Amino acid sequence: MAQGLRLVLFGPPGAGKGTQAQLLRDRLKVTHISSGDLFRYHLGQGTALGLRAKEYMNKGELVPDEVTIDIILDKVLSVPNEEGFILDGFPRNPHQAEELEKALSGAVRGLDKVVHIEVPEPVLLRRLGGRFVCRDCQAPHSIGEGEDASKVCSQCGGELYQRDDDQPKAVKKRIQVYNDETTPVLGFYRDRDVVVDISGDQTVDDVNQQVLAALDA
């Protein structure tokens, strides 16, 4: 498989984009750019951007475009032209998609594929209710009902916790916002014939194999 692919992972909250991004990053040797991780990094550093983002993220709402676009494009454009990247959590509306396309038009090439992971809403609600992340490396973990939430990270041994935006009320708001504001981005990319649709209602390995097969094609 050729290296240097430029991908967007697209799907609702809880679709498994973060997990697939990590698997693809390791397989394809490309940079993983997560909008959520970037915002949390700035929040952890106490930057003005992080504090501005916090109030929106905690309510399950989208961070305003002017904040999101600047931080993401700065990171995207720092990746050398010959190298690839995986965008996870961006773009989230047609305006962001247009700004990304404009920014990449000044580079050697644009996006290669948009991987759309589809998952039914009841499955999303169940998954997000059991989603925990590592405080140290931000690796996602799934903890089912009745399981011990004090487990440690399987990757680095760090403490696991549940983010405010994975609480039930915020989860429902995030899915509503996705349906209303983010779904139109699919139409933007379908017009450019770069979308591949993958069923996310299966095992992590099965989803990953389907994604890799689609990228080979």
Per-residue pLDDT tens for 148-179?
656 788 889 999 988 888 887 888 888 898 88
Per-residue pLDDT tens for 124-153?
888 887 888 899 998 888 777 556 656 788
Number of H helices, E strands in the chain: 9, 8
Show me where the domains of the chain are located.
Answer: 6-197
Q: What is the pLDDT of residue 64?
A: 84
**Distance from C-alpha of 214 to C-alpha of 202, rounded to nearest angstrom:** 16
pLDDT exceeding 90 applies to what percent of the chain? 42
Residues whose CB is less than 8 angstroms from the CB of residue 184 and which lie 6 or more positions away in sequence, other chains included? 93, 94
Contact 140, 18 (CB under 8 A): yes
Per-residue pLDDT tens for 93-114?
999 999 999 999 876 678 999 9
Per-residue pLDDT tens for 8-49?
999 998 898 988 999 999 999 999 999 888 877 878 888 887
**Distance from C-alpha of 155 to C-alpha of 197, rounded to nearest angstrom:** 29
Q: What is the pLDDT of residue 2?
A: 47
CATH number for 6-197 (one of 3.40.50.720, 1.10.287.180, 3.40.50.300, 3.90.1300.10): it is 3.40.50.300
Closest CA to 217 of 87, 119, 112: 112
More confident residue, 205 or 124: 205
Q: What is the pLDDT of residue 108?
A: 67
Q: Please determine, for residue 3, whether its predicted confidence score (pLDDT) is greater than 60.
A: no
The residues annotated as belonging to the active site are 17, 92, 131, 163, 174
Contact 127, 142 (CB under 8 A): yes
**Distance from C-alpha of 41 to C-alpha of 49, rounded to nearest angstrom:** 10
pTM of the model: 0.76
